[in-house]
Structure 1
Amino acid sequence: MSELRVLGVDACKGGWVAIELHDAAFAAAHIAPTLEVLLAGHEGLAAVGLDMPLGLADAGWRQADIAAAAALGAARSTVFRVPPRPVWLEEEYESAVRRCRAVTGQGFSRQAWALRRKLLEADAYRGRHGIHEVHPEVSFRGIGAGRPLAPKKTWQGQMQRRDLLRKAGIEVPAELGPAGRAGPDDVLDAAAAAWSAHRIATGRAISYPDPPEESPAGDAIAIWC
């Protein structure tokens, strides 16, 4: 019987970092400058969990972000609302904010705009390679049954997340090879994304919203956990 192989992917400085699970246990860590390079040579994956918006609304805010934020409660600020597609086609933040106000009545943050290049890179992969959108904080909430966590960039927060992964059977080693260049929070987020990818592959994942929202182009828009 072949192994069930999945990948969890998170954006990091210089590209993308990924944690690979075989039968729900840590198998390898990877880092690459682009998703194309990262996914090359990974044929046969049962699912890929990607921490980046996949599927953009033509107008208005995505229900996925609203539902996921509601589920996180006090940690809702870790989910940013993703503006509709026309906003991301602007070249500058100022013009993007104007477009966002025109189509939604509200602006959006520079922090969200900083993800533009990788968001558009990821958007090209929607519906391909078994890739599903995930959100690590939603995943960690699922692993920890709603347990409140300290911010992910703090020592306490990182130790809490590593402990949750360990209890879920995902032991992330200290030595990750080149992938160890990624920030610790990005590695932990990739591992949580892999946990969700395994749930997707085994048919146990839930979606926010449930059922997923459908874009005018027919794309399913949801955050999976």
Structure 2
Amino acid sequence: MYIGVDGCSTGWVAVQFDEEGYEDTNLYEHIQELWQAHGEVAEQILIDVPIGLRENSNAKRPCDDAARKKLSPNRHSSVFPVPVRAAVHEGSYEDAKETQEKRTDGSLGVQSWGIADKIAELDSFLCETEPEAVGTIREAHPEVCFWALNGESATEYSKTGQPAPAFWERIEILETIDGSIIDDIRDASTDLMAEVGNDDVIDAFVLALTASPKTGPLQALPEELTHGDTGDPTGDLPMEMVYAYP
């Protein structure tokens, strides 16, 4: 079983593939519920949330830096700066911003704070609740996955600025790998009785497809280790972004 996961306003949308293709889509309120449902049988769970955090530095994570270079000049801004660990666990933007500024020589943007609750939930889960899930749950960025499946070419249209052409552009990329995927996406979107956007579903699908045998072996960014970068101070969480070629 191969799972692609994207965060949404009501929790986590998870798209499930097996060796043959699409199987199911489900919505989970908490990441622990998702793991309880799939953890014992999943080969890979790819998730669009940062794994591996800084604690006292706003130095770019090597995987983020590598991803922005791959996605430039059109989609590099889709890779948000990742707050330090203490900041994502704060209860308000004001407190998180203060923590970020105390621990680093930078500040905290609103976009980064917008995903902080998902980062914090996954961080606590991997560090405290289910450390053995590390390696099965791996970080992936949908736009990097589209880049790889599209012949190392970033998508042209923005999901926020040009949602209609962006939707169909990404559908066309997915169809080059799985010709029936538009029907699967339609069924998945129709069955989800919650506030889940088209882009949430599409992103979860590209991650599931990337994890599945329908694409090649998983690759990881950065392609080379960054000299002198010690990574996540816990020593257990990798700073990487995985993707796959057709």
**How many residue pairs get matched?**
220
The answer to whether the 8 A contact 2:209-2:215 is kept is no
Q: Evaluate the alpha carbon distance shift between residue 71 and residue 104 of structure 1 in structure 2; reply closer, same or farther with a 3 A threshold.
A: farther
- Mapped to 1, the partners of 2:224 and 2:125 lie a distance apart of 21
Aligned to 2:223: 210
Structure with the larger strand share: 1
Q: Structure 2 matches for 1:11-160, cutoff 5 A? A: 11-23=7-19, 25-42=21-38, 43-60=40-57, 61=59, 62-74=61-73, 75-126=75-126, 127-129=131-133, 130-145=136-151, 146-153=153-160, 154-160=163-169
- Mapped to 2, the partners of 1:209 and 1:24 lie a distance apart of 30
- Mapped to 1, the partners of 2:79 and 2:154 lie a distance apart of 17
- Mapped to 2, the partners of 1:113 and 1:147 lie a distance apart of 25
Aligned to 1:167: 176
**Partner letter of residue 204 of structure 2?**
A
Q: Evaluate the alpha carbon distance shift between residue 196 and residue 70 of structure 1 in structure 2; reply closer, same or farther with a 3 A threshold.
A: same
The answer to whether the 8 A contact 1:139-1:195 is kept is no
1:127-171 deviation digits (Å, cap 9, x = unpaired): 543100011011111111114321124110001111111111161
Q: Which runs of 4+ in 1 moved over 4 A?
A: none
- Scaled by the length of structure 2, what TM-score is found? 0.81
CA RMSD of aligned residues (A): 2.3
Task: Report the CA distance between 1:203 and its aligned residue.
Answer: 7.5
**Partner letter of residue 185 of structure 1?**
D
% of aligned pairs identical?
27
**Partner letter of residue 8 of structure 1?**
G
- Mapped to 2, the partners of 1:128 and 1:211 lie a distance apart of 25
Task: Report the CA distance between 1:189 and its aligned residue.
Answer: 0.2
- Mapped to 2, the partners of 1:7 and 1:87 lie a distance apart of 28
1:42-85 deviation digits (Å, cap 9, x = unpaired): 23111000111112122323222122111111211000010221
1:70-108 deviation digits (Å, cap 9, x = unpaired): 111121100001022122233322232233233332112
Unpaired runs of 5+ residues, structure 1, are none
Task: Report the CA distance between 1:180 and its aligned residue.
Answer: 6.0
